[in-house]
Amino acid sequence: MHFESLNLERMGPIKRWLLILASFEAFMLVLRLTTHGMLHAQLCRGHDVLNIQIIMLLCSYVLWKRFNNLLTPPSSTRARDCVRSATLVFFFFAHSAWVYFYISVSDHSWITLFSFICVAIYIHLTVFVVAAICLEKGAELVFPDWHHPIVKSEPFHTLLALVLALMLTLSGLSVTKKIPTIHSVDVLIDDLPLEFSGFSIALLTDIHVGPTVGMGRVDKIVSITNSLKPHAVMIVGDLVDGFREHIGHHVLPLSRLKSKYGTFFVTGNHEYYHGDVNQWIDFFRAKTNMTILRNEARVLGGDLPRPLCFTGVDDIYTEKLRIVGHKMDASKALSQCPDNSVNILLVHQPNAAEKIINLVQKPIHLALSGHTHGGQMYVFWPFAYLKNAYLHGLYTEENTGTQIYVSSGVNYWGPPVKMPDLCEIAFIRLHPKSTS
């Protein structure tokens, strides 16, 4: 039997690269299925970053062709060379941004910030250019004899895409550079004891200390939170986005958080991406004065007929990782609450909140989540909306009556760009629900 079809020398370059890529993806899939624990988490993360780079290479090829076609003769050679050089520099910084999650960088490094701004422009530009290509091809198919530039001009569409990408990026950048918005939320709970009427929670999610979020930003968040004088502070996952030895010192201002009952923390998916998560947890316990709830509960007012019970669970991502001692277990956490308590669940992902609410026996009166970033950017919003059970704000689950608040997060992930008012600190007050 001859395998001439698999002879790389006889293949064209495109088929050859497709075969290599398919072989690599199959190999990585086998590794993802056969590994577990932190090795699995870091392997998946590295594989995802490589896939992002592959997708970006394809997109860069499309963008390169579009920008090359902007300036054609009689445009000067110098002008065309300038456009090409600027495009290559832009591509370099956009592609290199992902490296900064894995190396130590100084707080507010202009290189990392510029790289992630380029990523934001790149994402918007790619979406708009792809939309323009679809418009052009569709118009050519449906109206072959119509040549109006609004529907068929490639240079016009490319320039329009660039202008929109720059405008949305600069607008979103201004949001992340401002102080976070304070979003006040009143939550009504049946039979809430009068002792807890007005009980306040400062909800911080998705701080994402990492390449572009350093000590200065964390310090501002702490100062704003303290000014609210909450009864308790809840940090619901994705606190860090890097290795402890690289960014640990940027987390230290959290030790200054002040509230009557302290600061409570649960893990998010990003705590499992970089290094050993247990090292991060040990660091948090030793350096930040946080109470870490890992499928655990804390009861306030245990001597009252109806106490308040905070429960926290490991992130749902742990169900895939199979790390010893790490797994989302809401039943275990809730079993530590008295039978008649008001139960508040801290769970990073709203999809996990939905799963827990519909599975556990004990009532959950309020669940606090983050993760979604409220969609973060306009071009991401539809995907975030479809992917998550709850996107942003206060919801009520119909079957159980559980209320769920999903914060859009105090910061961002990756590109420092967000839609207006989505960098938030949620200030939640509990009130008894009137029966009249």
Specify which of 59-73, 308-322, 419-433 reaches the highest per-range mean pLDDT.
419-433
Q: What's the pLDDT score for residue 1?
A: 45
74 prior amide bond cis, ω within 30? yes
403: enclosing H helix or E strand: strand 403-406
Q: Check residue 155 and give its pLDDT.
A: 87
In DSSP terms, 368 is beta-bridged to 346, 405
Distances (CA, A) of 224 to 17, 60, 219, 221, 406: 52, 41, 9, 5, 20
Mean pLDDT of the chain: 91
Euclidean distance between CA atoms 338 and 346, whole angstroms: 17
Assigned token pair, 258: 């002040």
pLDDT bracket for residue 147 (50, 70, 90)? confident
168 pLDDT tier (thresholds 50, 70, 90): very high
Q: Which domains does the chain have, with CATH numbers?
A: 8-176 (no CATH), 182-432 (3.60.21.10)
pLDDT in tens, 195-243: 999 999 999 999 999 999 999 999 999 999 999 999 999 999 999 999 9
Taking a C-beta distance cutoff of 8 angstroms, is the pair 419, 178 a contact? no
Mean pLDDT of 104-125: 91
Burial class (CB in 10 A: 0-12, 13-18, 19+), 287: middle
Work out the average pLDDT over 114-119. 96
Q: Work out the number of other CB atoms within 10 angstroms of the CB of residue 44.
A: 19
What's the whole-number mean pLDDT along residues 85-111? 89
Mean pLDDT of 35-45: 82
Name which of 109, 164, 166 is nearest 131 in CA terms.
Answer: 164
Closest CA to 420 of 71, 249, 175, 111: 175
Give the pair of three-digit tokens for residue 185: 């939320």
Q: Check residue 16 and give its pLDDT.
A: 78
| pLDDT of 435 strictly over 90 | no
> pLDDT value at position 75?
63
CB within 8 Å of 434: residues ≥ 6 apart: 188
pLDDT at 116 over 60: yes
- CA 379 vs. chain centroid, Å, equals 14
What is the percentage of the chain residues whose pLDDT exceeds 70?
95
Is residue 246 helix, strand or coil? helix
Q: Is the pLDDT of residue 430 over 70?
A: yes
Confidence of residue 3 (pLDDT cuts 50, 70, 90): very low
| Model pTM score | 0.90
Q: Distance between CA 221 and CA 410 in Å, rounded?
A: 8
Say if residue 321's pLDDT is above 90: no
- Torsions phi, psi of 239, nearest 5? -75, -40
Q: What distance in Å separates the CA atoms of residue 402 and residue 13, rounded to the nearest whole number?
A: 57
**pLDDT tens-digit profile of 353-407?**
999 999 998 999 999 999 999 999 999 999 999 999 999 999 999 989 999 999 9
